[in-house]
Amino acid sequence: MAHILIIDDEPGICWALREYLTDSGHTVTVAASAEDGLAACDPASTESISPDAVLLDVRLPGMDGLTAIEHLQARLGSTPLLVMTAFGNLETAVRAVQSGAFEYLTKPFDLEQAGAVLDRALASGRLAAAVEEEPAEQNPAVSGDDLAGHSPPMQAVFRQIAMVAATDVPVLVTGESGTGKEVAARAIHRHSHRAAGPFVAVSLPALNPGLVESELFGHVRGAFTGADADRPGVFELADGGTVLLDELGDAPLSVQVKLLRALEQKEITRVGDLRPRPVNVRVIAATHRSLPEMIDSGDFRQDLYFRLSVFHIALPPLRRRRDDIPLLARRFLEQIHPEAGAGVLSEPVLEELRRRDWSGNVRELRNAVERAAVLARGNPLAVEHLPPPLDDNPPGGGELDDSDDSSVTQLERQTRRWFEQMARTTAVNGEEASLYSRYLAVTEPALLQTALDHCEGNRLATAALLGMHRTTLRQKLRRYGLDS
C-alpha cells in the first residue's frame, strides 16, 4: 500500500485519519507543522521519508499550508498534495489548485470521502511518477470572495472555477435566474492569467435584434443606415481579456454561426467588411435555458454547444444550498451596514429565510435583506420586515399571470400565507399583533415605489394613478424614506 504524510496541528483530525488509513493498509506519518513535514521529507536526513501522498492543512502554526505547497513540491516532485481546510472559500480553492494541489477537502469531512479522494490522488501520482514536474509557480493571492458558501454544492463550484481559471478553454455557466452566473464568470476572469485584461459582459436579450452582429463583432462605415464611422464590437473591445455572453440561448442562429467561427478561428469579421480580424479573448457563455432542448427544437446549433461546453459549470439554486443562506444574508447586511454585527439577524429571521424556496435565488435574497434593513431603520431585523414570499405560485406556475383574476388570486394566496405565519409568530412570542400596520409597512412602500417608477418620478402623476392627494403621497414617501 502507500505511505501517507499528514501535516495538521489538530490531534483529533490526525488520530482519526491515522486510524482510518492504517486500517486501509497504508503507512502513516504525522507532522504537527509544515516545518516538521518538510523536515520529514529532507533527503539529507537519515530518517527521511518519501510519501506517496500528502494531506496538508491550510491553517498551521508557523508556515501556512498554501505556502508549504511550493516547498513540498520542490522536494517531492509529482507526489499529489491534498489540502484540508475549515475555511472553504473561493480564494482558498483557487490558491490551492493553482499552486499545484491535487484536490482540497473542506472540514469536517467524511473519512470515506477523504479515502476516495486519496485513492484518486494515489492513482494520479502513479501515472505521473515517471515525470518529474517543475515546482508550480504560485499565483499571487486574490483578495476578496467572489462567491460565498460552505455547502457541498458551492464547494464543488469553487473547485471547478479554480481548475478552469488556469486555462483558456471556453466555459458554459448554467443556472436559474439569480444564481450568480455573471459573478462566477467574473471570478474565473479574476483568477486567470487574463485578470489584467478587460472583462466585457454583454446581455444578448438586451441588444437590438437588428444590431446584435454589430454589437458583438463591430461594423465599418456605411455598413448600414446610421453606421457613420467604423466601430469595434465586444470581441475587439475585450481583446486580451474575457467576453461573457450572457443568456446565450437568445442569440439568433445567424449570430451563432459567427460565434462558432470566432471560437474556432479566433477571428471576427465586422459587419460590412470582408477582412477577418484576429481576436485574443476567452469566451464564457451563460444561460438559464436548456441548450440541449433548444438543439432538439432547432433553435440552437449543436456544434456551437459542443464548442462552448468544453467546461460546464452548473450553479445550484439557493433552495439546494439552504445552509448558505445565513452566510449570504449576513454578508448582504454587512454591505449595507458595515458596523452591524451578526446578531442583527435573529434566529426567527434566519429560520424564515431558510424556509423560503427563493425562486429568484441569491438576487431575491439580497433584495429581501436590503429591503428589510431599510424598514428596520437600524434596529434588529424582524420577520415582519421581510417582504411576502414571491415564490409561492400555483402548481406549475411561474410568474403572475397577465389576467387580472389570476394575479389577484395569487396575491390573495400570498397575503393569506403571510397572515397565518405572522399570527403564529405573535401567538408564540406573546407580541402585540398589529398585523394591519405590519402588512402595510411591508407592502405599501413597494406599491409606492413601483408607481413612482412607472410614472418616471412624477409625483403628481403618481398620486393620480394611486387615487390619493399629492400631500398624502408626499407624507407616505417621507414616512418610508422614499422621498429622496
Which of the four pLDDT bands, split at 50, 70 and 90, describes residue 461?
A: confident
CA separation for the pair 181, 175 (Å, rounded): 7
CATH class label, 167-314? alpha beta
Q: Dihedral angle at the C-alpha atoms of 144, 150, 154, 158, nearest 10 degrees?
A: 40
Query: Which has more confidence, 395 or 280?
Result: 280
Q: What are 3-39's pLDDT values in tens digits? A: 999 999 999 999 999 999 998 899 999 999 999 999 9
Task: Show Cβ contacts of residue 105 under 8 Å, excluding neighbours closer than 6 positions.
Answer: 82, 83, 84, 85, 113, 114, 117
Residues 6+ apart with CB under 8 A from 257: 301
Positive or negative, the CA dihedral 448, 450, 453, 454 is negative
Domain 319-479 bears CATH identifier 1.10.8.60 = yes
Question: For residues 10 and 57, what is the distance between their CA atoms, to the nearest angstrom?
Answer: 9
In angstroms, the CA 68 to CA 39 distance is 12
* CATH number belonging to domain 3-128: 3.40.50.2300
Q: Where are the domains of the chain?
A: 3-128, 167-314, 319-479
Task: Give 35-95 as a 3 state SS string.
Answer: HHHHHHCCCCCCCCCCCCEEEEECCCCCCCHHHHHHHHHHHHCCCCEEEEECCCCHHHHHH
Q: What is the pLDDT of residues 399-431, one digit of tens each?
A: 444 444 445 566 777 777 777 767 766 554 454
- The mean per-residue pLDDT over the stretch 288-308 comes to 91
Average pLDDT along the chain: 81
Mean pLDDT, residues 324-332 = 90
pTM: 0.59
Q: What is the per-residue pLDDT for 273? A: 85
Between strands 267-268 and 199-203, the pairing is unpaired
- Gap between the Cα atoms of 139 and 99, Å rounded: 7
Query: Given this chain, do its domains 167-314 and 319-479 carry the same CATH topology?
Result: no
Share of the chain above pLDDT 70, in %: 86
Cα–Cα distance between 246 and 261 in angstroms, integer?
18
